[in-house]
């Protein structure tokens, strides 16, 4: 019998989380590319309430952007650090450790991506320009999430 704290249980958890983040990343990239093709400057946000289809696509992007960050930073990274017998700390501690290990390029970019959530989850905000700039920045950060996904999956696979 294995549990989540044994090496066997942790290896199985890492394997599961790798499969999850790969799917989440692929879905995020697909959604991001689709949104960019519609209108790279997101001018349609000026009349967002009149276009339910685009609102749903935006919701999907925001959900996938936030979910991938959460799964990477709150699940896969701590599981990987545990497997490496690294101390698990706060999210910020774990991110700083990940940066030192070369798993993420910049803690600052990661924190920025997390803070964008506040602007993105309120897509019906009255400040359309803030929403537009937040979406554009989130789209710029998608490759960072993709790179972290690839790195964490690669190094964690070697350990399980």
Every domain of the chain and the residues it spans: 7-159
Averaged confidence pLDDT in the chain: 88
pLDDT value of residue 50: 79
Nearest to 77 by CA among 12, 148, 16: 148
- Tell me if residue 105 falls in helix, strand or coil: coil
pLDDT value of residue 145: 96
Q: Rounded mean pLDDT of 7-28?
A: 92
Question: Is the model's pLDDT at 115 over the cut of 80?
Answer: yes
* 58/18: higher pLDDT: 18
Of the chain, the percentage scoring pLDDT greater than 90 comes to 57
Residue 137 and residue 154: Cα distance in Å, rounded?
A: 26
Phi, psi of 91 (to 5 degrees): -55, -45
pLDDT value of residue 2: 41
Of the chain, the percentage scoring pLDDT greater than 70 comes to 91
State pLDDT tens for residues 85-101: 898 999 999 999 999 99
């Amino acid at each position: 019998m294995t549990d989540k704290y044994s090496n066997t249980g942790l290896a199985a958890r890492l394997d599961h989380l790798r499969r999850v983040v790969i799917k989440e990343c692929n879905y995020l990239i697909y959604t991001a590319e689709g949104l960019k093709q519609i209108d790279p400057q997101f001018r349609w946000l000026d009349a967002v309430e009149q276009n339910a289809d685009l609102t749903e696509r935006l919701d999907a992007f925001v959900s996938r952007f936030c979910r991938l960050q959460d799964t990477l930073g709150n699940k896969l990274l701590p599981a990987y650090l545990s497997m490496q017998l690294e101390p698990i700390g706060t999210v910020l501690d774990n991110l700083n450790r990940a940066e030192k290990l070369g798993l993420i390029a910049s803690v600052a970019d990661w924190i920025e991506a997390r803070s964008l959530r506040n602007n993105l989850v309120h897509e019906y905000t009255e400040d359309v320009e803030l929403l537009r700039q937040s979406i554009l920045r989130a789209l710029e950060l998608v490759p960072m999430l993709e790179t972290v996904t690839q790195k964490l999956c690669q190094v964690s696979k070697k350990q399980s």
